[in-house]
Amino acid sequence: MLTAEQRHEFERRGVVCLRGAVAAARVAAFREDILAFIAANGIRPTGSGQWLAIPPSRTRRIARAHGFAELWGEPVMDAVDTLVSAGRWTLPHHAGQILALNWPQPGFPWDVPRQSWHLDYPAPGAASALPGVQVFLCLDRVEPRGGATLVAAGMARLVDAIRQRRGPAWEGRSADARQAAKREVPWFGELCSARAGEDRIARFMAKATEFDGASLQVVELTGEPGDVWLMHPWLPHNASANSRERPRMVLTERIRAS
């Protein structure tokens, strides 16, 4: 179960990390299954430049061979119960989706992206409760600038305010929520635009910006094997390049309230 401090962190920033939530031995066995499957099937990364990766479609069979409860375990399910409420969500059959294994490209410079910030869940004006939560499990060490998912921490509460202002007819699709947030939240508008000569890492990651009661900052979902991140469904997030020396290995699942 989440502590009061962790619950407050989730409500304030829209994301919280549970360090060592999944047993290291269980994670290591799953990671070895993935690597053995890749080797046995001769799977190679595709793409170009910094966006060289093994896509989720190539590793789907491994993720589907494991059950959600079997891999993620009771502490994570208890945390979901705390946020979504016990009985409001259905236990997924499978472990989830292995995110693209972003291949290491240490020779490329790393920066905060401006395009492709998005929501995985709609944020409709008619919603009256949290529609779910997305969970991420580090299967190997995920280092800063190592291909981790980036989140616009603090934005979930502002997206929530936007959808409530729009009223119950608003569908809250990702593209619409993104455009509304760009117009109404200056920090997010700047995040999604390019300004010549700007140090985007210093601007968006080094410190938080306070706006309308929210503390806004780009955060990387990094960690050690077994660390789990819980993300608010209305938190804008993005992919990032891997400028380190190991593939990014992360499992995710989108829990939806019933």
Could you report the per-residue pLDDT of 136-173, keeping only the tens digit for each? Answer: 999 999 999 999 999 999 999 999 999 999 999 999 99
Give the per-residue pLDDT at 72.
97
| 184 pLDDT above the threshold of 80 | yes
Give the per-residue pLDDT at 237.
98
Provide the residue count of the chain: 258
Q: How many domains does the chain have?
A: 1
Q: How far is CA 79 from the centre of its chain?
A: 16
User: Which residue would you say has higher pLDDT here, 216 or 196?
Assistant: 216
Evaluate whether 138 touches 226 at the Cβ level (below 8 Å).
yes
Residues 195 and 221: their CA atoms lie apart, in Å, by 25
User: What is the pTM (predicted TM-score) of this model?
Assistant: 0.96
Give the per-residue pLDDT at 107.
82
Query: What DSSP string describes 11-59?
Result: HHHSEEEETT-S-HHHHHHHHHHHHHHHHHTT---EEETTEEEE-HHHH
- Kindly report the number of other CB atoms within 10 A of residue 49's CB atom: 9
- Kindly report the number of other CB atoms within 10 A of residue 196's CB atom: 4
The CA-atom distances, in angstroms, between 182 and each of 177, 187, 190 are: 9, 8, 8
E-strand ranges in 92-153 read 97-98, 101-102, 132-138, 150-153
Q: How far is CA 139 from the centre of its chain?
A: 14
Give the per-residue pLDDT at 1.
74
| 54 pLDDT above the threshold of 80 | yes
Give the per-residue pLDDT at 108.
87
Look up tokens 């080797």; give the residue: 39
CATH at 144:
2.60.120
What's the rounded mean pLDDT across residues 202-220?
97
Burial class (CB in 10 A: 0-12, 13-18, 19+), 77: middle
Give the per-residue pLDDT at 48.
86
Evaluate whether 218 touches 151 at the Cβ level (below 8 Å).
yes
Check residue 91 and report its DSSP letter.
P
* Domain that residue 237 falls in: 4-256
What is the 3-class SS of 161-219, one letter each residue? HHHHHHCCCCCCCHHHHHHHHHHHCHHHHHHCCCCCCCCHHHHHCCCCEEECCEEEEEE
